[in-house]
Amino acid sequence: MREKAQGIPAASFGRGSITLVAVLLLVLAPVSIADGQAIEYERPVETAPQENDIGGGYVTPQVQKPRPRDFWLQVLDVALLAAALALSVWTVVTRRSRKGLVALSIGCLVYFGFYREGCVCPVGSIQNVVVALTDSKYSIPIVVTATFFLPLLVAVFFGRAFCGGVCALGAIQELVVWKPIQVPQRLERTLGLLKYVYLGLAIWFAVQPAISRDFLICRFDPFVGLFRRTGFPHMLMIGGGFLLAGLFIGRPYCRYLCPYGGLLEWCTRLAKRGVTITPAKELECGLCIESCPYAAIEQRRAVRRKCLYCARCYASCPHEGPLARAKAGLVTVSPPG
C-alpha cells in the first residue's frame, strides 16, 4: 500500500484527495449543510504521507520513548539496602545508639519510602520469589532476588536488622510511636499469628495461573499510597488508620500483619548475635521492659524474634547510652550483690 502511494509523483495525488474533501467542504458546506449538521466524513488518505510526500524539508518528529530506570540505578538500590542493613547492625548491636537508629530510619524512609516510593521492598518481593519458584514461565530480575534474600541472610546472623531503620514501612511507624500501651501477652500472641495467615493467603493468590494471579501484599500495602502521595482513597485511609493506631500500639503492621516479618522471625531464631540485655551489667530496674513498645523483652531478656531493632531499651538503660554518659563521673552504678 505504502509503495503504491510513494510511486505517485511528487506529493500531488496524496493531496488530491484532501483537496477533494476541502472543495466539498468549502463549496458544499455553506450551501447544503445546514447549521447543526455534521460533515460526511471520509478518510482522505489510504496510507500515511512520508517525508518526501510532504516535501518542503519536512522531517518526521521523533516519538519520545522514555526509558525505565537504568539497571545500574537498580543495582545502586540494592547496594544501599545492603549498606543500610550493615549500618543498622552496627548502630544497634555495636554502638547501641537510639539516636543513630532514628537517623537511619529517617534516611531510609526518605530514600526507600518517599524517593523510591516504597518499591525496593523485600516484603512485596515474597510474591515474586514464590511465583518465580513455581511458574516456569515467570522469572525475576537479579536485583529482586537480592532484595528478597539480603535481609533474611542478615537475620540468620544478627536478627531483624531490616525491621529497625531499613524497612520504609517499619520506619514510618517507628517514627510515630508516641504513647505505646503494653498489649496483653495472650492477645499479642494471637494477633501475631495473623501474619502467617496473611503470608499463606499471599502465597496462595500469587501461585494462581498468570491470568487470575494477584499480589495481595502490594495491593493492600497500607503505606505505599502515602509514599507516592497518591493512591486509592480506601488504602490511604487504611494507611492513616495504621499510623493513628501506631501512636498507641507500637508498629501494628510489623507485629501483626507483615508476612516478611514472619519469615524474619524464623531466620532470627538462629541468630547468635543481636540486641542483648547484658546480664553482667544489669540493674534489674526493669526500665528496658517499660521502654519496649513491642513486647520484645520478657523476664528482662530480649526476645530476638520479636525485637524490631529500635534500640529504645539501650536509650532507657542507666548503664547505656545518654543516661550513662550524663552520669559518668558523678555516680558509679554497680550491679547488685
Say how far apart CA 278 and CA 130 lie, in whole Å: 39
Question: CB of residue 303 vs another protein: minimum separation in angstroms?
Answer: 17
Local structure of residue 120 (DSSP, 8 states): S
Complete DSSP assignment for 241-294? HHHHHHTTSSSHIIIII-HHHHHHHHHHTT-S-S----GGG-----HHHHH-TT
Say how far apart CA 162 and CA 228 lie, in whole Å: 22
Say how far apart CA 242 and CA 231 lie, in whole Å: 16
Q: Judged by CB, which is closer to another protein: 263, or 295?
A: 263
Distant-in-sequence, close-in-space partners of 246: CB < 8 Å, separation ≥ 6: 173, 176, 177, 252, 253
Place of cell 537479579: 142
Say how far apart CA 253 and CA 259 lie, in whole Å: 10
Question: CB of residue 188 vs another protein: minimum separation in angstroms?
Answer: 26
- C-alpha torsion 93→98→99→101, nearest 10: 60
Question: CB of residue 77 vs another protein: minimum separation in angstroms?
Answer: 12
Q: Judged by CB, which is closer to another protein: 43, or 186?
A: 43
Say how far apart CA 90 and CA 96 lie, in whole Å: 8
Say how far apart CA 46 and CA 17 lie, in whole Å: 10
Binding region for another protein (CB under 8 A) = 15, 18-19, 21-23, 25-26, 29-30, 33, 35-39, 41, 43-45, 47-50, 54, 56, 58, 60-61, 63-69, 71, 74, 117, 119, 124, 127-129, 132-133, 139-142, 145, 149, 152-153, 156, 211, 213-215, 218-219, 225, 228, 230-232, 267, 270, 272
Three cell numbers at 12? 500531488
Q: Judged by CB, which is closer to another protein: 128, or 173?
A: 128
CB distance 310 to 294 below 8 Å: yes
Question: CB of residue 58 vs another protein: minimum separation in angstroms?
Answer: 6
Question: CB of residue 107 vs another protein: minimum separation in angstroms?
Answer: 21
Decide: helix, strand or coil at residue 302. Answer: strand
Q: Judged by CB, which is closer to another protein: 213, or 281?
A: 213
User: How distant is the alpha carbon of residue 322 from its chain centre?
Assistant: 33
Amino acid in position 266: W
CB distance 274 to 159 below 8 Å: yes
Q: Judged by CB, which is closer to another protein: 13, or 178?
A: 13
Question: CB of residue 195 vs another protein: minimum separation in angstroms?
Answer: 19
Question: CB of residue 26 vs another protein: minimum separation in angstroms?
Answer: 6
Question: CB of residue 306 vs another protein: minimum separation in angstroms?
Answer: 19
Q: Judged by CB, which is closer to another protein: 25, or 244?
A: 25
Question: CB of residue 39 vs another protein: minimum separation in angstroms?
Answer: 6
Q: Judged by CB, which is closer to another protein: 39, or 187?
A: 39
Q: Judged by CB, which is closer to another protein: 74, or 91?
A: 74
Q: Judged by CB, which is closer to another protein: 187, or 237?
A: 237
- What is the CA angle 135-138-142, rounded to 5? 120
Three cell numbers at 299? 523476664
